[in-house]
Each structure stands twice: as C-alpha cells, then as structure tokens.
A and B are shown apart, each in its own frame.
Chain A
Amino acid sequence: IVGGVPGNSPWTVSLRDRKGNHFCGGSLVNSKWVISTKQCFSSCYVDLPGYSAMMGTLFKDPKEGEPDRQTIPLTKIVCGPSESQLVMLQLEYPAQFNERVSQICLPPERYIVPEGTDCEIAGWGETKGTGDETVLNVAQIPVISNKECNKYFRGRVRENEMCTNPFQGGVGACERDYGGPLACQNSDCWVLEGVIIPMRRCGHPGQPNIFIRVSVYVDWIKKVMEM
C-alpha cells in the first residue's frame, strides 16, 4: 500500500505460497471462504498444496507463537465469471473469529456504492518507501463515480469496476496487495465493495484506483458458498 499507515483490518488475510512467503491479499467473507483475484493464481483447476491464508496478525512475518495468528491451508479455488477476475478460496477448516479476525459484509446485489463514501484499502504489499512493509498498512480512500473516473481513463472503466479518488500525494495499492479489500463503511459496519486488481503504476499522483465491483458478483459468491 502506497501512502498508507499501519492499521487494523481483521478481514484482510495474507495469502502464502508454498515457501510461506506472502504473495497476495484476500478478504474473509465467512469463516471458510476468502475472496481474492484470479491474477494471483496460475489456474483455477488445480489443487493448492502448500498454499495457505494467514490472519489475526498485523505483522507480515510474525514470530513463531504470535498470539491469535491463524494460518489455514487452502483446499479449493473457484474461478468467478470470466470477466470478474475474482476467485474464491476455501479454507481447510473454519477461521476462528475474535478481536483480530472477523468476516466482512457483502453488499446487496448490483449495488452502486454512493460517491464520496469513506473506504479503505489494506495490505502487506509494496509501500514504495512510504511506509513500514513489515506490518499491515491501511489507506483511507473515498469512492468516485465511474463517470468521473472515465474522464481520467477515457471511458475504459467498465460497469463491473469501480474507482476511488486520485490523491495528488499518490495513494493506492501496489505489488502483493492484489486480491485485498476495498472496504467501505456503512453505519458501523464495513462492507467489501471492491477487490484490488493490478493496475499500471502504483499510487501514482492524480491517478484513480480501479477495483472489481463486488456487488456485481455477490450472487456468484453466495452460490459458491452454498454449493
């Protein structure tokens, strides 16, 4: 995260490869399922031996015995509709919810989050020197309309995508944040409105951030969890 500060985001998980290295982010949408982006995975039709989701800690590489840290193997990956760039990852056993681990809300189907809504992105990825890469960084970032966003991207932003405000100081997600959440506040709850996907340039001053609009795929998400 470029332009973020250390913070708390109990639904954000760190996805770990076979060597135990952090390589992408994800969001807990219930005790057994994590949402992330397809771009982080080589295929949806393979097993995931050795991959895991780590949660319940702010530290990217917590010490052995760190209290409340949970590292749960991934057992299944399900690809979203083709243009969604989303995947759902099943945990081998349910995550234990507590003060440090909780699930994030899903928005209503096809809901458009109002412009100006307070949102935040979170991840353990690249800070480009703007923060501490050993801990979870969070950046506040309000929503802008697609219409507004398309002025910058010349009409390329699609309806299943959404944007957040371009700060002159440069705020945004970067390497190894992909798959993580764009969480927006709704009264006293946080809702998963977007998923971070790779963009050209990170935290580039004046450039809006683009996310996959989760509300377009809530029906698919629920179907996978039910099936």
Chain B
Amino acid sequence: TRSLLNDFQRSEGRELAPTVWNSARVLTLPGLTLEDCAKSCSKTLDCRAFNYETRPSITCKQLPWVEDGSNAEVKRNVNCDLYEKKVYVRKCIVGKGEDYRGKVSTTKSGHTCQQWWSKFPHDHRWIPSSTNGLELNYCRNPDGDPIGPWCYTTDQERRYESCNIPHCKDEVCITCNGEDYRGQVDHTENGMECQRWDQQFPHQHIYQPEKYPDKSLDDNYCRNPDASPVPWCYTIDPLVERESCEISKCSVVPKRRVRFSFTTNCFRGRGEDYRGKVNETTSSIPCQRWDAQQPHEHPFYPNTYECKGLEENYCRNPDGSEAPWCFTSVPQMRTALCLQIKRCADDIEAEDCYHENGKNYRGVVRKTRKGIFCQKWSVNTPHKTKINPETHPQANLTENYCRNPDGDQHGPWCYTTDPKTEFDYCAIKQCAGEKVSLIEPAEKVEFSECGKRDDRTPRSWSR
C-alpha cells in the first residue's frame, strides 16, 4: 500500500525546465499515469525528478537533476506538477542519513570535504558508483555511521568529521500544537511512513489538500489540520489509521505573535486570536470551564494547548472552527459558537464623505473600504465592466476614482483590482447628519416565479 510518490516532493503548478544545452538529457514518456511515472523514475538510476504534464497531453518528463540553480530552473506552469526525489532536495536527514543526497560539503567545524574519488590527503577504500551517491565532495554516510553524513576532510590533520546535518525532526521545531508546522518529517513517532494527503488509500479521509489550502497538506509530511495536540499523519499501514509524529518543540514562542495579534473586544477571521472574557453562548448559556471535564468530556486540556488561551470558561477557538466557541454548561448542548462577539471591523478609515447617495461625488478617493485600489473605469481587467464611461458618459468616470454612476443607495463604489472582488464600496462615508429614508408600505405588491410553496405535507416526507 506504499505509493512510490512518497519518495517525491511535489511542487504544484511548477516545471523544472532544463537549460538549452541540457535539454537532450530529458527522457519523455507520453501517456503514463502519475504512479507509473514515479515508478519509472524510481527505477531509472539517474532520474532525480520528473515533470508530470496533464495538458495538452499527459506526459512524464524525467530529469537527471533537481532544482540546483545550474542545470535547470523551476518555472510556473499551471499544466504541470514537478516531483523531485526527496533525498535530493531534503536539507535534513531521517534516521542515520544513509540516503542523504544533499550538497553540503563542509564539516561541522568548517573543514572542506575531500572529493570521494580522490585518495588525497586521506587514502580510503570508498569508490563512487552510480548507486552509492558518493558524488563530488558532498557529505554522505556510506557506512551507516550513527553520527550521520560525514566526509574525509582536506585538512591533513583531520581525517574525517561529521557534517552535522540536522535531523528532520529537529530541523523545524513546533510551537504550541504545531498547527503551523511546515517541516519535512514524513514518519510517525513509531517510525511508520506517512500516507500522502492527496491520496485516499490505504485510508480514506476528509483532509484533502485543496479543501484545506491553509493547512499546507503537502505530500506525506506530518501536519496538524484538526488541532490535535501535535502534528500527525495517516500511515501507509492499513491497520493503523493515523499516528502522531515526533517533532521537537521550540524552546521559545516568537514574541511577535503574542503582542500583535490578540484581540479582546472583537474577533478577526475565525477568532483563533480572540482573548476576551465573554463566557457564555449566544443563547446566554454559561460556558463550561476548559479545565473541567463535566458536563462534557473533551480533549482540549489547557496545558496541552498552552497557546490557545483556554482560561476559565471564556469563548475560544482552539481547533479552527468558524468562530470562538465553548463547551456549554448544559448536558444537552455539548458546544456552541459565541457568534454574539462582534467581528472586528476591517474597514479602513474613511477618507472622504458624500452627500445623499453620493451620485454627485467627484472626489479623488480611489480605494475600497478594505483598502484595495480601484480598477480604472475605462479598462476591462481584472474585471470586465458593465458600467463605464461609454455607458454612463455623464457620471464623470475618470481614472479609478470612486463614483456612483448607477445611483447605488449605499454610496460611491468602484470595480476593484482584486480578481476575487468584482466591485466594492469605497472608503467614503455619508456626511454627518444625513439619513437613509425608508418608504411606507406600497399598496399592492405583485410577485411571480418566486416564493411559492406547496403547503400540503406529502406522505413521503414522513420517514
């Protein structure tokens, strides 16, 4: 049940493009599945990476290098994913590092390594071959030495020395419960290899990378998408669904996170940084203390999640839910969101004001209320305009100034330069003292095509 893709690190939307004089060394294999492409590269000794192209046709291009700044360069290509053999790109070691194939060539005390093919200044019995990785003067561990990758040195006085290449579990440490961990550990604490997140075998799961872009569920690296106590992964063993990973804890929490991002009167985003003292649910039910297990048992022990501010019974968001929440003090309701806490206003300061509905505004504000710059009225990128100087010649649609050509009751607006936001209202507020007027009920309002409901209850609905 082990996928050969486990040996590769994927770079989505990237391709490794060889230099012109190297292009002949690329092996092109059309029509292979991704797994077969990986299998073929694994079997080919000098294949270190492959481009897997899906358009215009499925093509597997095998390359004898990884991105090293000389033989090939990585380019953006939405129709291609680059897979590089981990052993050649990893900057850390697993186990004793016998499979390390990085390019470090100095020892821990700074000696330059001797070339493996050379017997000078130190004679030895190792002979480079196409399989043992004894390349140039890179640190290697051909004899499984517990000190990890080492080399003979060019210093007459020092025969050999370790290169001090860090273990992956120490290379990147974790803070709190490791939700931000983006390191390259790909085995569990019991040494079991991890399953790729973008595969559903041997274990089906909900944590698909494209659904959780913020969790960086890369390859088969340990991650923590569900606020577990530590990073974990699904395993390649059908009998063991998931296990925690052993990763060093950082000794110091970065100060910046502590000072700048916590809020107490409102919450931003999903409220993970809310540290206020609201301690009841929207429906005024008191929250249960986090350090209590009654009436609801739960896994969120304050000392396990020491960075989540699980004090007293305050509303908090330790697990990436949609908003701050808490366990409630009533047995029938396990948890509830605390949506009554206000969201922090993320509008920028208004830079001007308008009268009535702003139809006659002729100022020079050109930012939306979120601070995004406006798109010019006369261009069609990133958004194709339906309202522009041609359609509304009288509306003074100049440059990218905020205007109200369609008499929008909510004030001047503009198309935005954010591809995700077609139009938005501007950083302009209504001048003081002006009010929105509502109209009294119109006599007969007619509707069609909507709001129809069959109020008879068909038997089939009574399950």
The residues of A with any CB-CB pair to B shorter than 8 Å are: 8-11, 17-20, 23-24, 38-47, 49-50, 58-59, 76, 78-79, 81-82, 84, 99, 102-114, 126, 128-129, 159-160, 174-176, 178, 183, 186-191, 198-204, 213, 215-217, 219-220, 223, 226-227
What residue of chain B has the Cβ atom nearest to residue A220's Cβ? B410
Query: For residues 412 through 463 of chain B, which have their beta carbon under 8 Å from a beta carbon of chain A?
Result: 418, 420-425, 435-442, 445, 447, 449-455, 457-458, 461, 463
Q: Knowing A105-B451, A186-B447 are in contact, say whether A216-B438 is a contact too (CB < 8 A).
A: yes
Q: Are A82 and B347 in contact (CB under 8 A)?
A: yes
Q: Knowing A23-B322, A99-B454, A219-B408 are in contact, say whether A129-B283 is a contact too (CB < 8 A).
A: no
CB neighbours (8 Å) of A128 from chain B are: 283, 333
Q: Are B333 and A126 in contact (CB under 8 A)?
A: yes
A224–B461 CA distance with the chains assembled, in angstroms? 35
Tell me, rounded to whole Å, the shortest Cβ–Cβ distance linking A7 to chain B.
8
Q: Are A174 and B282 in contact (CB under 8 A)?
A: yes
Inter-chain residue pair count (beta carbon < 8 A) = 168
CB neighbours (8 Å) of A126 from chain B are: 283, 333, 336
Q: Are A108 and B332 in contact (CB under 8 A)?
A: no
State whether the Cβ of B211 lies closer than 8 Å to any Cβ in chain A.
yes
A219–B429 CA distance with the chains assembled, in angstroms? 18
Interface residues of B, dominant DSSP: loop
A111–B269 CA distance with the chains assembled, in angstroms? 33
Interface residues of A, dominant DSSP: loop
Q: Are A49 and B452 in contact (CB under 8 A)?
A: no
State whether the Cβ of B337 lies closer than 8 Å to any Cβ in chain A.
yes
State whether the Cβ of B248 lies closer than 8 Å to any Cβ in chain A.
no
Q: Are A227 and B423 in contact (CB under 8 A)?
A: yes
Tell me, rounded to whole Å, the shortest Cβ–Cβ distance linking B128 to chain A.
47
What residue of chain A has the Cβ atom nearest to residue B437's Cβ? A110
State whether the Cβ of B369 lies closer than 8 Å to any Cβ in chain A.
yes
A107–B437 CA distance with the chains assembled, in angstroms? 16
A183–B451 CA distance with the chains assembled, in angstroms? 9
CB neighbours (8 Å) of A81 from chain B are: 410-411, 425
The proximity string for B residues 365-384 relative to A, scoring 1 for CB distances below 8 Å and 0 otherwise, is 00001100000000000000
Q: Are B447 and A198 in contact (CB under 8 A)?
A: no
Q: Are A200 and B340 in contact (CB under 8 A)?
A: yes
Q: 4 tightest CB-CB pairs across the interface, nearest first?
A: A50-B211, A189-B451, A202-B283, A190-B451
What residue of chain B has the Cβ atom nearest to residue A29's Cβ? B450
**Residue from the list A112, A174, A191 in contact with B438, Cβ < 8 A:** A112
Q: Are A189 and B437 in contact (CB under 8 A)?
A: no
CB neighbours (8 Å) of A38 from chain B are: 343
Tell me, rounded to whole Å, the shortest Cβ–Cβ distance linking B340 to chain A.
5
- CB pairs A–B below 8 angstroms (18 shown): A9-B453, A23-B337, A46-B420, A49-B210, A50-B211, A50-B212, A103-B451, A110-B409, A110-B436, A110-B437, A112-B440, A126-B283, A175-B283, A189-B452, A201-B283, A202-B284, A217-B410, A227-B423
CB neighbours (8 Å) of A17 from chain B are: 322
A128–B283 CA distance with the chains assembled, in angstroms? 9
CB neighbours (8 Å) of A187 from chain B are: 447
Q: Knowing A45-B370, A175-B282, A223-B408 are in contact, say whether A19-B452 is a contact too (CB < 8 A).
A: no
**Residue from the list A59, A178, A186, A220 in contact with B339, Cβ < 8 A:** A178
CB neighbours (8 Å) of B386 from chain A are: 226-227
CB neighbours (8 Å) of B418 from chain A are: 45
Q: Are B451 and A174 in contact (CB under 8 A)?
A: no
Tell me, rounded to whole Å, the shortest Cβ–Cβ distance linking B317 to chain A.
10
Tell me, rounded to whole Å, the shortest Cβ–Cβ distance linking B275 to chain A.
17
Q: Are A102 and B451 in contact (CB under 8 A)?
A: yes
State whether the Cβ of B281 lies closer than 8 Å to any Cβ in chain A.
yes
CB neighbours (8 Å) of B282 from chain A are: 174-175, 198-202
A127–B222 CA distance with the chains assembled, in angstroms? 40
Tell me, rounded to whole Å, the shortest Cβ–Cβ distance linking A15 to chain B.
10
What residue of chain A has the Cβ atom nearest to residue B357's Cβ? A219
State whether the Cβ of B69 lies closer than 8 Å to any Cβ in chain A.
no
CB neighbours (8 Å) of B203 from chain A are: none
What residue of chain B has the Cβ atom nearest to residue A2's Cβ? B283
**Residue from the list A8, A49, A104, A215 in contact with B213, Cβ < 8 A:** A49
Q: Are A82 and B453 in contact (CB under 8 A)?
A: no
Q: Are B410 and A49 in contact (CB under 8 A)?
A: no
State whether the Cβ of B406 lies closer than 8 Å to any Cβ in chain A.
yes
State whether the Cβ of B90 lies closer than 8 Å to any Cβ in chain A.
no
CB neighbours (8 Å) of B347 from chain A are: 82
Q: Are B453 and A114 in contact (CB under 8 A)?
A: no
The proximity string for B residues 325-341 relative to A, scoring 1 for CB distances below 8 Å and 0 otherwise, is 00000001100110110
Tell me, rounded to whole Å, the shortest Cβ–Cβ distance linking B253 to chain A.
24
Tell me, rounded to whole Å, the shortest Cβ–Cβ distance linking B211 to chain A.
4
Q: Are A40 and B441 in contact (CB under 8 A)?
A: no
A213–B438 CA distance with the chains assembled, in angstroms? 11
A202–B284 CA distance with the chains assembled, in angstroms? 8
What residue of chain B has the Cβ atom nearest to residue A188's Cβ? B452
What residue of chain B has the Cβ atom nearest to residue A197's Cβ? B339
A128–B323 CA distance with the chains assembled, in angstroms? 20
Q: Are B337 and A176 in contact (CB under 8 A)?
A: yes
State whether the Cβ of B270 lies closer than 8 Å to any Cβ in chain A.
yes
Q: Are A105 and B439 in contact (CB under 8 A)?
A: no
State whether the Cβ of B206 lies closer than 8 Å to any Cβ in chain A.
yes
**Residue from the list B213, B406, B437, B453 in contact with A10, Cβ < 8 A:** B453
Q: Are A223 and B447 in contact (CB under 8 A)?
A: no
Q: Are A39 and B213 in contact (CB under 8 A)?
A: no
CB neighbours (8 Å) of B212 from chain A are: 18, 49-50
**Residue from the list A43, A76, A190 in contact with B453, Cβ < 8 A:** A190
A105–B446 CA distance with the chains assembled, in angstroms? 10
Q: Knowing A8-B453, A8-B457, A102-B450 are in contact, say whether A39-B442 is a contact too (CB < 8 A).
A: no
Q: Are B369 and A82 in contact (CB under 8 A)?
A: yes
Tell me, rounded to whole Å, the shortest Cβ–Cβ distance linking B412 to chain A.
12
Q: Knowing A58-B461, A219-B408 are in contact, say whether A47-B343 is a contact too (CB < 8 A).
A: no
A188–B451 CA distance with the chains assembled, in angstroms? 8
Q: Are A113 and B322 in contact (CB under 8 A)?
A: no
Q: Knowing A23-B322, A102-B451, A175-B339 are in contact, say whether A110-B439 is a contact too (CB < 8 A).
A: yes
